[in-house]
Structure 1
């Protein structure tokens, strides 16, 4: 009976790791984090509002990224900020599993979205005459739906393999819940979880990396062969920002995955990289893609000009 009660307690109440921020710094850190969160929400909501209200922006590729970024940063940062102030650092097990589901959906989603954007740029630069036929709204919608169904299916199986076990520990080693942290709560044989984790990593990281490498090699060849310096500079400018964001995400995600495989990795460094994956892309993406995409940039400027004029 005692063991049963212990398992029930472990199943519902967990302690979650923190950054051990000194008390005098907790409120300044909270304020800075809150401002970053509000800034990200404002930027992503602004882009989503424009996409909904402007018919010319009704493209699946436009609204997928800000929506995914908004869900990703909201799934983790508010809780981390609350823990910094309250110093509670506790979470219920079902809530932890749900947070892990949303976080992994965000991670898989952003990788696939950036991969789809790389393919879109490849068609636009290497096959400009066929772009409207290949990347039609109908085909784009099919790509987006398939992408999200694949992400959801892979993540559901990933967490179903975790929740089939009874846990025997109560400490989440990261500042937010994820699959590696949940697996560490289990004392039984988790080899199947590890094998599937490697498989899902290969799908998300490997497929995305191969597609991006292939598309950018083709884009590079096209740019080298293109005699128009203006077209070449526009292609490099368009693809350069996408490549920086993609490589930043890949580096952080790979480090976080590798860090969980090696016990000697500094916990603070592992948590910092895990946090950066969830926080920085949702802040940078609306600035990079919102301001670099001509259609969105023009509509944003026009929207705020109309607001200023109406106030006057």
Structure 2
């Protein structure tokens, strides 16, 4: 049985660290997957800036469940050595922020070139994973669009072939590519680490709150609960659209969509949707941020 812990890409609530901390605390979320802080990519921060981020998070009782890095989100045809150096920097960032996990990807490639690029993808992932493991860090592969590991078959491939590589399950990313989420979670369970929470509808290419799309998020959480023991992070990544001209949108344009006056409002809405979905599936909060059945 799993114990689900809520985390979030809090840069979707606000750009500054103070705004992100406030959003997490107001929503009773004790973990963060930092991606952008004060309008800077997490890997561009200096050591001094990172130590200050850690100090503020610690002072507010917020821990880093995983680093929201862009590692592996580069074209497979780009030179590898500079990217390996960036991976080493990301490992150092993990160490400063006190996390053992790093979100990453398996390189952009044309889907028609998967077979051609497969061996080089695996080679690079092995080198990067070995470097991370040597420092006590687990690289966690996300099934992102347009990368090698976009679909369940390729996710199965990388998790099988690359020893020590973990898997992140993202239902919305699968559905945006018309992939079977059941096959996706089956592949990810080869070395499952945690989940990203956003939902989607394929035909309209729309991101929606958890439980309102085709991602079967509640059912997937139940599968994870049966298959995985211990702590499992559910990282909110709302991606809900914020309309700049909110007041000017008519009813027809809003049909079937959500609109929000601010990033913070969208973030709160997504958080409440996940909590409602958990309760619908029989989970209860045990303590401040632990959901169990």
- Structure with bigger strand share is 2
Q: Which category describes the TM-score, using the shorter chain as reference length?
A: under 0.3
User: Which protein has greater RCO, CA pairs closer than 8 Å, 6+ apart?
Assistant: 1
Larger-gyration structure (1/2): 1
More helix by share: 1
Could you state the TM-score of these two structures normalised by the residue count of structure 1?
0.23
